[in-house]
């Protein structure tokens, strides 16, 4: 078959090759994996350091949870595509005031796109605002906030370049059976979900969903563990001739069916968060995280997609770096989702499919505090009435989520647990002498007390020795007290 263009004759096969090459180029241009960059840390790596890490590891997309100007400045001319975020506590204001939305867009999008060279592609309005645990708090404000931010982007002339979306937890939809084809939106939010879906569709915006196979395993002890990974778990679920042998495919396609049932079967989907934690639970460990994330990356790089949506996924790993100041309300594992520790050191070998065969590349130029630790004195009296309140205080104001059954420090004895708590508080407070003054119980040592898989980490140096805005979950206090009772510290 031949086609004529002017006086020149082209063989159709050549055109087909050109089209295929062009399509391959488009796929390659968006196929790089993204990561979530959270900042709920007591000691943050500098934005410039993190951006260098992103580039060194071939990360092409980053999802933020706010619009920190220092982070956006560091992303200037980096070539990294950015999704900026609007926290849930801003939804009410933005929903009820178009001028407030216009001001937010001007300050956090327009200023950085027009003059700063930041490649902002999305605005994430809220973060999982319809979680069932929120009891409907944000149901009335999410869509109006989306509409006002969209209007503000349109007014700023950015609506064709920057799209709005709302990252939603996978609990916004469900299946009445194990089959994805029975998927639909959660009954209590069906109406608002359909309004949001129509709004996204009308504005050429994607549906963003956070999918966590780990949570399925965490919430249900009888859940088949291998089904959470990508090794072809059997027996697979067969649904309308399509086979499902892992949670991701089944969960993702439950959403596809829900969208399809309401006439939005072609709406683009972004997997906003997906990953596996490395501590804080018996199933949260380095081998499982490596297995899951490498399995996911193999699927991602292959461009296989899911049975209902074959082809490349658009996804962001959760998360890039641990966050030791994050709420532990869902579970102690919440502070351990990172591919990297707080100091920018990789946790395990992971090939991101970016041509870097040697795995993850660590942060450079990061300074640590001195090799000093705060531990329990050998002569300390474990029967002292100061032990329980001291450990509780340390854990309430630092991070003890690596202690407990099945965790990285689950092999410590009672003395080791107390030392870990003391050292965590000492490091969070920049090794100040006053932070190792637990009455009659503590001492500073230059001998590393790490034992087996349990690492007594040294904190990184930051510009300020003061801890600003620390919000520690009161759950930590309860956990510490329960832990002490279980360990019978008072003996």
- Tell me the three state secondary structure of residue 439: coil
Is 273 among the residues known to form the active site?
yes
The string of pLDDT tens digits covering residues 414-461 is: 999 999 999 999 999 999 999 999 999 999 999 999 999 999 999 999
φ/ψ (deg, to 5) at 91: -60, -40
| Gap between the Cα atoms of 278 and 455, Å rounded | 13
- Report the pLDDT value the prediction gives residue 356, as an integer from 0 to 100: 65
Is 2 among the residues known to form the active site?
no
Neighbours of 491 (CB within 10 A): 9
- Which value, in Å, is the radius of gyration of the alpha carbons in the chain? 25
Strand 173-175 and strand 61-64: the pairing is unpaired
Instruction: Give me the catalytic one of 128, 139, 195, 334.
Output: 128
Task: Please state the rounded mean pLDDT for residues 164-191.
Answer: 97
| Gap between the Cα atoms of 243 and 128, Å rounded | 29
pTM as predicted: 0.89
- Tell me the three state secondary structure of residue 86: strand
- Report the pLDDT value the prediction gives residue 288, as an integer from 0 to 100: 98
Query: Is there a contact between 94 and 86 (Cβ–Cβ < 8 Å)?
Result: yes
**Residue of 425, 412, 440, 441 whose CA lies nearest to 373:** 425
- Spell out the residues 6+ positions from residue 143 whose beta carbon is closer than 8 angstroms to its own: 95, 192, 195, 196, 199
The string of pLDDT tens digits covering residues 239-253 is: 999 999 999 999 999
Task: Please state the rounded mean pLDDT for residues 325-337.
Answer: 96
- Spell out the residues 6+ positions from residue 122 whose beta carbon is closer than 8 angstroms to its own: 82, 83, 84, 162, 163, 164, 165, 206
- Report the pLDDT value the prediction gives residue 25, as an integer from 0 to 100: 37
Burial label for 327, CB within 10 Å (0-12, 13-18, 19+), is middle
- Report the pLDDT value the prediction gives residue 458, as an integer from 0 to 100: 97
What is the percent of the chain where pLDDT is above 70? 87
- Report the pLDDT value the prediction gives residue 357, as an integer from 0 to 100: 64
| Gap between the Cα atoms of 257 and 251, Å rounded | 10
- Tell me the three state secondary structure of residue 220: coil
**Residue of 321, 348, 349, 345 whose CA lies nearest to 335:** 321
Bridge partners of 1, per DSSP, are: none
Q: Residue 18: pLDDT band by 50, 70, 90 thresholds?
A: very low
Domains assigned to the chain: 28-340 (3.20.20.80), 373-445 (no CATH)
Question: In degrees, to the nearest 5, what angle opens at C-alpha 421 toward C-alphas 417 and 422?
Answer: 115
468 or 151, which is more confident: 151
Burial label for 232, CB within 10 Å (0-12, 13-18, 19+), is exposed
Instruction: Give me the catalytic one of 273, 323, 334, 466.
Output: 273
Query: Is there a contact between 93 and 73 (Cβ–Cβ < 8 Å)?
Result: no
What is the percent of the chain where pLDDT is above 90? 85
């Amino acid at each position: 078959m031949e086609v004529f263009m002017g006086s020149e004759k082209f063989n159709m096969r050549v055109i087909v090759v050109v089209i295929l090459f062009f399509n391959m180029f488009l796929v390659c241009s968006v196929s790089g994996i993204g990561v979530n960059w959270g900042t709920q840390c007591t000691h943050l790596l500098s934005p410039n350091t993190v951006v260098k890490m992103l580039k060194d590891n071939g990360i092409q997309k980053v999802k933020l949870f706010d619009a920190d100007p220092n982070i956006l400045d560091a992303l200037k001319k980096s070539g990294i595509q950015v999704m900026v975020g609007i926290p849930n506590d801003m939804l009410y204001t933005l929903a009820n005031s178009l001028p407030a939305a216009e001001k937010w867009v001007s300050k956090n999008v327009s200023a950085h796109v027009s003059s700063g060279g930041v490649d902002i592609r999305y605005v994430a309005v809220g973060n999982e605002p319809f979680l069932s645990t929120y009891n409907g708090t944000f149901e009335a404000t999410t869509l109006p906030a989306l509409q006002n931010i969209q209007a503000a982007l349109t007014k700023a002339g950015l609506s064709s370049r920057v799209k709005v979306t709302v990252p939603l937890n996978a609990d916004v939809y469900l299946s009445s059976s194990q089959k994805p084809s029975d998927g639909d939106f959660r009954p209590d939010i069906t109406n608002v979900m359909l309004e949001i879906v129509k709004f996204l569709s009308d504005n050429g915006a994607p549906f963003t969903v956070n999918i966590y196979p780990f949570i399925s395993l965490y919430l249900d002890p009888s859940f088949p563990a291998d089904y959470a990974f990508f090794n072809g778990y059997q027996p697979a679920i067969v649904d309308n001739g399509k086979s499902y042998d892992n949670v991701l495919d089944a969960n993702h396609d439950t959403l596809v069916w829900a969208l399809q049932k309401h006439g939005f079967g072609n709406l683009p989907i972004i997997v906003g968060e997906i990953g596996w934690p490395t501590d804080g639970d018996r199933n949260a460990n380095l081998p499982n995280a490596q297995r899951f994330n490498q399995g996911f990356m193999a699927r991602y790089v292959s461009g296989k997609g899911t049975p209902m949506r074959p082809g490349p996924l658009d996804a962001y790993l959760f998360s890039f770096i641990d966050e030791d100041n994050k709420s532990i309300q869902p579970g102690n594992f919440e502070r351990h989702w990172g591919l990297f520790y707080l100091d920018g050191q990789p946790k395990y070998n992971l090939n991101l499919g970016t041509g870097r065969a040697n795995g993850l590349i660590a942060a450079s130029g990061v300074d640590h505090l001195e090799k000093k630790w705060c531990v329990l004195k050998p002569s300390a009296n474990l029967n002292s009435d100061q032990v329980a309140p001291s450990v509780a205080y340390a854990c309430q104001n630092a991070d003890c989520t690596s202690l407990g059954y099945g965790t990285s420090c689950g092999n410590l004895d009672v003395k080791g647990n107390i030392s870990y708590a003391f050292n965590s508080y000492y490091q969070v407070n920049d090794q100040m002498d006053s932070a190792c003054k637990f009455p009659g119980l503590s001492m500073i040592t230059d001998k590393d007390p790490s034992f087996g898989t349990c690492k007594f980490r040294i904190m990184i140096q930051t510009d300020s020795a003061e801890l600003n805005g620390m919000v520690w979950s009161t759950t930590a206090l309860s956990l510490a007290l329960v832990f002490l009772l279980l360990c019978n510290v008072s003996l």
